[in-house]
């Protein structure tokens, strides 16, 4: 039995030995290989071709790779999202795709509010001015009270709900764009269910928490930004692929939106020389860290290893989420 723990260098900086201990406790004879990915697909295939299970975060497992994995039974993802795996191909080859059902709701919600508050209070300008020995409250410009503002949350899963709770506690009026939220449920939660057009016309803050799929890829584009009437702050702690990055740059340049707080970009392998969002007082970018806390990171390792163990023992009810469970008849 072989398990491959594979990822980019930064993501393998976690305590991988802890994962090995969990796996060996369940399977004392298991062969565990740690592989640092360097964008060499052929080398990756040579490593995972005989694997029974893979633990991965950001490496794309496409049809070409999956077709070579003759023994693979499960891909356990150190993430809630699973857009890095070709689910249709995985299903065709009998491979379970298993992201974490939930592990970092609190962290992402807190990070969302941290980005929002930092932008609302012009913290970047103030920090820079003080470091340059300037003591002047007017440098922040027209800082406004956040209480009473209207925030629209796009996508209302666990994280969206957690953001709504924190926003409401600060006196923010919350609207939601969601295809799954029922009006009676919205009323019970104290949020207003609106369509996208209404959201763009009435929001002071836009916060994206949508899953990435065919409908949401490139969802936030110049056409939508141009329809924003209140020059809202745009927050994205969801998926970078939901935003057309060049359009976001143009929207900032043209003043369609007033500021942006981003924890995700279009790629995890950022080419800083081409990143036009850098060097702006009204933009804060963090390196996809919203998920992270010591507690959340350990929870994620536990979930991924438990997934592999249950999958290889064929104890499928013990797996928190199998994206293609029905298609595989499990």
- Residues annotated as catalytic are 239, 268, 288
Q: What are the Cα distances from residue 61, in Å, to 72, 259, 291?
A: 12, 35, 22
User: Rounded CA gap, 315 and 327, in Å?
Assistant: 17
For CA atoms 17, 3, 82, 185, give the dihedral sign: negative
* Sole residue written with tokens 């392998």: 269
Tell me the two tokens of residue 322: 């199998």
Give yes or no for a contact between 221 and 245, defined as CB atoms under 8 angstroms apart: no
Burial class (CB in 10 A: 0-12, 13-18, 19+), 168: middle
User: Rounded CA gap, 155 and 177, in Å?
Assistant: 6
User: Rounded CA gap, 297 and 295, in Å?
Assistant: 6
Cα angle 117, 122, 126 (rounded to 5 degrees) comes to 125
- Concatenating the DSSP letter of every residue in 180-246 gives S--HHHHHHHT-EE--HHHHHHH-SEEEE-PPPSTTTTT-B-HHHHHT-SS--EEEE-S-GGGB-HH
Q: Look at residues 257, 254, 252 and name the one whose alpha carbon lies nearest to residue 279.
A: 252
% helix, strand, coil for the chain, step of 5? 40, 15, 40
CA dihedral of 97, 285, 240, 270, whole degrees rounded to 10: -80
User: Rounded CA gap, 48 and 6, in Å?
Assistant: 9
């Amino acid at each position: 039995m072989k398990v491959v723990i594979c990822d980019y260098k930064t993501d393998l900086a976690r305590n991988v030995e802890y994962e090995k201990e969990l796996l060996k406790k369940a399977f004392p004879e298991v062969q565990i290989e740690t592989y640092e990915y360097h964008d060499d697909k052929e080398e990756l295939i040579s490593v995972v071709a005989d694997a029974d299970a893979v633990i991965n975060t950001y490496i794309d497992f496409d049809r070409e790779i999956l077709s070579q994995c003759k023994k693979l039974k499960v891909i356990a993802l150190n993430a809630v999202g699973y857009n890095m795996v070709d689910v249709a191909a995985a299903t065709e080859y009998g491979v379970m795709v298993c992201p974490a059902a939930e592990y970092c709701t609190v962290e992402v919600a807190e990070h969302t509010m941290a980005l929002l508050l930092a932008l609302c209070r012009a913290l970047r300008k103030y920090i820079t001015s003080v470091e340059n020995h300037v003591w002047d409250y007017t440098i922040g410009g027209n800082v406004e009270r956040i209480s009473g503002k209207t925030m629209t949350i796009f996508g209302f899963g666990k994280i969206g709900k957690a953001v709504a709770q924190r926003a409401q506690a600060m006196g923010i009026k919350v609207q939601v764009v969601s295809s799954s939220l029922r009006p009676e449920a919205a009323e019970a939660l104290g949020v207003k269910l609106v369509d996208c057009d209404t959201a763009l016309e009435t929001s002071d803050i836009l916060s994206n928490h949508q899953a990435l799929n065919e409908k949401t890829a490139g969802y936030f584009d110049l056409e939508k930004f141009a329809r924003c009437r209140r020059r809202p702050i745009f927050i994205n702690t969801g998926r970078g692929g939901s935003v057309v990055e060049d359009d976001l740059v143009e929207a900032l340049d043209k003043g369609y939106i007033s500021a942006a707080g981003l924890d995700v970009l279009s790629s995890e392998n950022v080419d800083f020389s081409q990143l036009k969002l850098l060097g702006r007082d009204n933009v804060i970018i963090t390196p996809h860290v919203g998920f992270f806390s010591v507690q959340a990171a350990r929870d994620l390792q536990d979930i991924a290893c438990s997934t592999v163990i249950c999958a290889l023992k064929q104890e499928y009810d013990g797996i928190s989420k199998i994206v293609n469970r029905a298609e595989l008849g499990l």
